[in-house]
A and B are shown apart, each in its own frame.
Chain A
């Protein structure tokens, strides 16, 4: 128990007649980065709200930082921080005022709150706009301020609900660096994401949530091993060839990118089976322009585990 930052058993939650979580078991080692991966409506936010004491499970046990979220709610709250999908800031207060307020609410003295705010503003490259109202910040700056606010009280367990959703690429990479830096400090980080690359890049372990159930759990490498292991990417000659091949595959593709005229097909990577696959898909050798064999991405894993691709996910 003491080695676990987060532990759940049989987590069940329904809203009205809709079952959102159907028995979720999680074990997150202390000091690790853990990603909960799933599409919209998979139950990610519900899970994070229960773990962070904001919502109550209908059944199941949850321990966070060693404390029970129901019986020891105050202890849990003192050990965690939550950064949700929407910036939890006062737009009319400046960046510095927001952080000082959070510091005071975390029990810091006036001076200590001031010092901690200055330190975090520096760390998140927000010293220059610190005296501006948060409402004037860009999306990336707001996320950084939001994350800084969640760190004021030096939490042991940090919850991040889709930390990079809606951010442009540079801001997203900035956020990844921040999370990597936090992980180096030894805190437990639990994040949700729809982005497989993000989970692959950041997390020590990944749990795949689909329809309120965990369909897989392990390191990125372990998850990738669970599927065929390789992927054959076919680039088609033209749009007509693309349409014809996707019709022949009939949903068996791990991804299909019409703009690049490329389709991915699971394979074990063996030369004979690649040749047989090409012959069966393109017997008169008129459709495929060229091909490449890759190690499977987490997208392929997702498809193999859930039986459906995540439409909104870019392939890694």
Chain B
């Protein structure tokens, strides 16, 4: 446990030393939200104010872009000299990679708070009970954890930082979900994918919980997806790590 804390602290310190990357990571979701609300929002008619609809989607998108940096930080460690030192010091792969995931979780908490504050500033009004808020935060954290582990395994799979950058493309999966537009408004051939991929239940669960609407079984679908991605990615990371260091 102390090792994991040390590695998490390291991850956060390394983040803080790259202010340009940090500002980009913080500003990108805010700008995307502003673009959606002010540029596209006027043209979108879905029966409610678009800001109310889209903010939970932007929170999920922000979680993806924020977590995707894990692929880069993990890949940097694996391709640099420091991995040999950590291993010869008997720091396990779980602690090395886990430090990056925990660092990602912390970064995402920071960027989500910022994003949420801006969302309230531009007119987002949640109607959630304390339990609803807690549930939304819990689902979002679980989602961040799952995507961070997924990106960590991607970082272990590729052998260059440039390739690890491609984890960013995961955000396009969010566009093909109900994060920004209801699935029923999409062309028929996309609906099957958009309705049944993990981002849709995760977004709709968070949206429902924040707006005080019933979420039904969707919350369990969301939790199952996140848990599944988490378990598979962590297991894949373990396999990839031992293969890379054989």
Contact = CB atoms under 8 A, between A and B. Distances in A.
B90 A88 contact: no
A56 to B, nearest CB: 7
A149 B85 contact: yes
Given A105-B3, A105-B6, A81 B82 contact: no
A165 to B, nearest CB: 13
A150 B85 contact: yes
Interface string A48-61: 00001111100000
Interface stretch (B12-20, B105-113, B193-201): B12-20
A50 B41 CA distance: 61
Given A88-B81, A104-B6, A105-B3, A93 B17 contact: yes
A8 interface: no
29 contacts: A54-B84, A54-B87, A56-B246, A74-B90, A77-B89, A78-B90, A81-B89, A82-B85, A84-B85, A86-B80, A88-B80, A88-B81, A88-B82, A88-B83, A88-B84, A89-B81, A89-B82, A90-B10, A92-B13, A92-B14, A92-B18, A93-B10, A93-B17, A101-B9, A104-B3, A104-B6, A105-B91, A133-B17, A149-B85
Nearest to B6: A104
Nearest to A161: B84
A301 to B, nearest CB: 31
A84 B84 contact: yes
Interface residues of A, number: 30
A52 B14 contact: no
A40 interface: no
* Interface size of B as a range: 20 to 34
Interface string B74-94: 000000111111111111000
B48 interface: no
Interface in A141-200: 149-150, 153
B17 A92 contact: yes
A312 B89 CA distance: 33
B114 to A, nearest CB: 23
A87 B81 contact: yes
B98 to A, nearest CB: 13
B2 interface: yes
B3 to A, nearest CB: 6
A156 B56 CA distance: 55
